[in-house]
Amino acid sequence: MYNAKRAVNLSRPGPIDPTTDLLSDRASRDGALDVSLVIPLYNECESLPELAARITDVLAGVTEHWEAWFIDDGSDDGSAEAIETLHRADARVKLIRFRRNYGKSAALAVGFEHAQGAYVITMDADLQDAPEEIPHLIAKIDEGYDMVSGWKKKRYDPISKTIPSKFFNFVTGKMSGIDLHDFNCGLKAYRRVVIKSVHVYGEMHRYIPVLAKQSGFTVAELAVEHHPRKYGTTKFGLSRFFKGFLDLLTVMFTSRYTQRPLHVFGTIGTVMLLLGMGINVALTVEWIMGRPVSNRPLLFLGILLMLVGIQLISTGLLAEMITKREHTTTDYLIRDTLS
Q: 119 φ, ψ to 5°?
A: -110, 130
Question: How far is 217 from 195, CA to CA, in rounded Å?
Answer: 11
Verify binding: residue 226, ligand UDP, rule CB under 6 A. Answer: no
Query: Shortest distance, CB of residue 149 to Mg ion, whole angstroms?
Result: 16
Nearest to 116 by CA among 218, 11, 15, 22: 22
Residue 41 or 312 having the CB closest to ligand UDP: 41
Counting DSSP H helices and E strands in the chain, the numbers are 12, 7
Residue 24 or 128 having the CB closest to ligand UDP: 128
Verify binding: residue 191, ligand UDP, rule CB under 6 A. Answer: no
Contact region with ligand UDP (CB under 6 A), list: 12-20, 39-47, 242-250, 314-322: 39-47
Verify binding: residue 129, Mg ion, rule CB under 5 A. Answer: no
Verify binding: residue 319, ligand UDP, rule CB under 6 A. Answer: no
Contact region with ligand UDP (CB under 6 A), list: 15-23, 28-36, 228-236, 317-325: 228-236
User: Which residues, 96 to 125, sit near ligand UDP by CB under 6 A?
Assistant: 101, 103-104, 107, 124-125
Asked if 180 contacts 136 with a C-beta cutoff of 8 angstroms, the reply is no
Question: How far is 153 from 212, CA to CA, in rounded Å?
Answer: 22
* Beta-carbon count within 10 A of 7 CB: 14
Measured between its terminal Cα atoms, the distance across the chain in Å is 48
Instruction: Out of 63, 75, 128, 169, point to the residue binding Mg ion (CB under 5 A).
Output: 128
Residue 150 or 316 having the CB closest to Mg ion: 150
Verify binding: residue 186, ligand UDP, rule CB under 6 A. Answer: yes
Question: How far is 289 from 287, CA to CA, in rounded Å?
Answer: 5
Instruction: Out of 36, 38, 44, 92, point to the residue binding ligand UDP (CB under 6 A).
Output: 44
Q: 14 φ, ψ to 5°?
A: 95, 175
Nearest to 139 by CA among 122, 114, 121, 157: 121
Q: Which residues lie near Mg ion (CB under 5 A)? A: 124, 126, 128
Q: Which residues lie near ligand UDP (CB under 6 A)? A: 40-42, 44, 73, 101, 103-104, 107, 124-126, 128, 186, 234-236
